[in-house]
Structure 1
């Protein structure tokens, strides 16, 4: 090994530059302590910062890298180390092979809708894990989606990731044609912003061109803010309708992650979609990525038994899973009931202290050789592991341990969180969340309370009681 190559932190010897973007530069390196290859991200520090602003930027970059390093799930790449040399942050990650989706689009043109839906499902899984831990990706685009040699999709480059609800400390980081309207308007971002970018990426894959394609970045940004994209004709009615909904200007009008997952899972196969030939197998390049536990989407055999759909052919109306009398008994008041969005219902009491009971329900469909109940079981296990890994304090929010709950569906867990108000160390808001599974259905019951004293942050009993009523209604 040539010893004149740069040695970072006395341990990581940089071998070659793999790629460069707005968030920084990725290097292939050798960890000389463990004698293995790793990926090293040299975080780009904005120019022109004074010493105080530069120090603030560096502190935030390190904090967010550490937050990403807390993620423990088979679908997420491990972050091994965060190094600071001078005022330059470096992030040490696993090194994984992959081929970017944008290169495949340039070479192959529009991709089959079924394949695009499969890619979308896997990238969605990565985003859900990040969102569950309060992190936004902020740069979802085809160039950051890799296809591994076995056909699984991977989301790369959390380099400009930021906490939810903020404008993002990396300023204009991101790509104009794939940045949600609220981000271009410098409004607070949320999970819906990442899902908008996912919709734009899948649109590009299935159509062979970006939804707001223009020659100049400024014109592209204006199109995102002011115009509607053409309906993606190659996507078909099912996938095309979903993509148009994901690209809505108003974040509240976009489908939620469970709704997107359900729609992508239901994408019909097309006669022109190759099912056994691995046509996406192409020479691999190295990059630091978020890996996804996925399998090829092609059929395992020409003849096979169709997987079990599950008990639920469609998701039930969550507003019908509790009577108003039951909800009133739970919230100890007279609540206002309303469907806040598809797949979600809320019973709210606005008098002090404010409290809300939220019920969500969605179904999983067969995926390859897995039946709907198996997919739901896998999803439940992944969400359980993700929430368990989130135990601890981040900012003003503390997440409790995940506990199993008996007597609610086939399996259920509960977790409590408490968030201090900005001007208080004595009170805040509390959420007790029950997640449960029955056959191919997943449900969530959230008991939300305001003005909760820190001495009594949890109320698991009420959340569990509500969840038992919801689960009982599903058996009727």
Structure 2
């Protein structure tokens, strides 16, 4: 890839989101003159050349299997490109918002609308199941409601074809706690009935505005394995309980479920289904030792690798909560007093809040100098407060890999006086000590070779925070600028610990 162009035809325009498995770009297919979405898949670090080659081959094979799924309810895969020793997936660009964003911003859906969404997704899933493909991560964040009215199931990145291991099984992720069927939490590979359970949990959120099992990731896993399924009110309640039966064999036939959902979507009552009597009973609970391991691992969303389990079991730093789950005003993470010291002014500006697809952010700019802070999220999570410690770790590693790829870039910050894009050279990405639980940093140099911006990215519990300090002044030394970014990051860490 050169000059932001992939395979000589896909011009990468801007990132749309990032996750542990890679980054999603808005791109233009210059051959067909249309906008597309490009998913850049990143491979785990430390792999041998042969392992990397095998993983690329496997990813291409999985993409080929996904491309055979032709249905209006499944996001279309246009092309697969292998460049820079990793695969890139070129997909149709969807315009609209996810089901998770819709419920978050507008509240629960009416029963008829929730039923219509569920029926459309289940029909799409049935097409995949007919070709031996499981989705394995059905959840509100992976259901897209387009502006044209389509309901589209996205992100087959961890899909599994029967009889095959997947790329993502080599790289950890197998689903999202609260939407993973009990049998899969117990270590079984699952099947189409597991996707049906996940869809039931997803419609429950659409219908009620809240998950069937709430709390931390570990609490959601424990509840899935040990507690009865809560029954939602309204015409869909009994049907959702049936879809989320503890035993796969107790769940209804998907064709019957589609018919029932279509009947509710058209304004009629839900028909009575002939189903097993133990529809709300949890599946068999494994031995205590195994439950502890699964719960610990599920706190990280990724529930396979032993390294993830070890990561979660490490003790938290003193004064740091296990997770930050309540949304907060990120402009409070750097006080006016601290901003004044860092900006060297007696009249520090108020934080200017902003938000984009990568998470809420705040800036403290004055003429010639500014501090920026952003609490980040991956593309698979509704907001930063829904991240888990290991998904945050994966996001931080993904950010590190992404910045490592670009030695030269452009930057702008109109509020401090940089209104036009300026070229900059990145210094090597390096570890940063004394900030959060893990951190890295880098600097940007201008044409004269002097540093004008320093960046620090850190993880604290389940949050990933990026901090920037930039100045146009000639007086501060390179080390002064590095230290200013470090102090800003440390101040935000202390503010988070105080808030937690």
From the superposition, tell whether residues 48 and 248 of structure 1 become closer, same or farther in structure 2 (CA, over 3 Å): farther
| Whole-angstrom distance in 2 between the partners of 1:72 and 1:220 | 34
**Which residue in the other structure is 1:173 paired with?**
174
From 22, 25, 37, give the equivalent of 2:23.
Answer: 25
Residues 75 and 154, structure 2, Cα contact 8 Å, conserved in 1: no
Residues 28 and 38, structure 1, Cα contact 8 Å, conserved in 2: yes
**Which residue in the other structure is 2:225 paired with?**
225
| Whole-angstrom distance in 2 between the partners of 1:113 and 1:231 | 14
| Whole-angstrom distance in 2 between the partners of 1:50 and 1:240 | 50
**Which residue in the other structure is 1:260 paired with?**
257
**3-state DSSP of counterpart to 2:178:** helix
Q: Please tell me whether residue 88 in structure 1 is matched to residue 86 in structure 2.
A: yes
TM-superposed CA distance for 1:74, in Å, is 4.3
**3-state DSSP of counterpart to 1:96:** coil
Residues 14 and 28, structure 1, Cα contact 8 Å, conserved in 2: yes
| Whole-angstrom distance in 1 between the partners of 2:156 and 2:264 | 28
From the superposition, tell whether residues 248 and 44 of structure 1 become closer, same or farther in structure 2 (CA, over 3 Å): farther
From the superposition, tell whether residues 314 and 118 of structure 1 become closer, same or farther in structure 2 (CA, over 3 Å): same
**Which residue in the other structure is 1:249 paired with?**
246
Deviations 1:194-236 (A, max 9, x none): 111111100011111011111x212211221222232112xx1
| Whole-angstrom distance in 1 between the partners of 2:69 and 2:236 | 31
From the superposition, tell whether residues 98 and 223 of structure 1 become closer, same or farther in structure 2 (CA, over 3 Å): same
**3-state DSSP of counterpart to 2:108:** coil
TM-superposed CA distance for 1:167, in Å, is 6.5
TM-score (ref. length: structure 1): 0.53
From the superposition, tell whether residues 24 and 242 of structure 1 become closer, same or farther in structure 2 (CA, over 3 Å): farther
TM-superposed CA distance for 1:103, in Å, is 1.2
**3-state DSSP of counterpart to 1:209:** coil
Residues 166 and 189, structure 1, Cα contact 8 Å, conserved in 2: no
Alignment: residue pair count: 273
Residues 24 and 159, structure 1, Cα contact 8 Å, conserved in 2: no
| Whole-angstrom distance in 1 between the partners of 2:20 and 2:245 | 26
Deviations 1:279-311 (A, max 9, x none): xxxxxxxxxxxxxxxxxxxxxxxxxxxxxxxxx
Deviations 1:50-102 (A, max 9, x none): 33333332221110101111233444443221111132111111112121111
| Whole-angstrom distance in 2 between the partners of 1:63 and 1:255 | 32
Deviations 1:142-182 (A, max 9, x none): 11111122433211111111113566542333211111122
| Whole-angstrom distance in 2 between the partners of 1:253 and 1:23 | 34
From the superposition, tell whether residues 161 and 224 of structure 1 become closer, same or farther in structure 2 (CA, over 3 Å): same
TM-superposed CA distance for 1:7, in Å, is 1.3
**3-state DSSP of counterpart to 1:231:** coil
Residues 58 and 166, structure 2, Cα contact 8 Å, conserved in 1: no
Map residues 145-224 of structure 1 onto 2, 5 A cutoff.
Answer: 145-164=143-162, 168-171=166-169, 172-214=173-215, 216-224=216-224
Map residues 370-381 of structure 1 onto 2, 5 A cutoff.
Answer: none
Residues 74 and 153, structure 2, Cα contact 8 Å, conserved in 1: no
From the superposition, tell whether residues 257 and 106 of structure 1 become closer, same or farther in structure 2 (CA, over 3 Å): same
From the superposition, tell whether residues 76 and 108 of structure 1 become closer, same or farther in structure 2 (CA, over 3 Å): closer
**Which residue in the other structure is 2:63 paired with?**
65
| Whole-angstrom distance in 2 between the partners of 1:36 and 1:200 | 36
From the superposition, tell whether residues 34 and 152 of structure 1 become closer, same or farther in structure 2 (CA, over 3 Å): closer
Map residues 1-150 of structure 1 onto 2, 5 A cutoff.
Answer: 5-150=3-148
TM-superposed CA distance for 1:35, in Å, is 2.3
Q: Gaps (5+ residues) in structure 1? A: 272-312, 318-338, 342-476
Residues 205 and 212, structure 2, Cα contact 8 Å, conserved in 1: yes
Q: Gaps (5+ residues) in structure 2? A: 278-500
**3-state DSSP of counterpart to 2:28:** strand
Residues 165 and 189, structure 1, Cα contact 8 Å, conserved in 2: no
TM-score (ref. length: structure 2): 0.50
TM-superposed CA distance for 1:256, in Å, is 2.0
From the superposition, tell whether residues 116 and 14 of structure 1 become closer, same or farther in structure 2 (CA, over 3 Å): same
| Whole-angstrom distance in 1 between the partners of 2:264 and 2:70 | 30
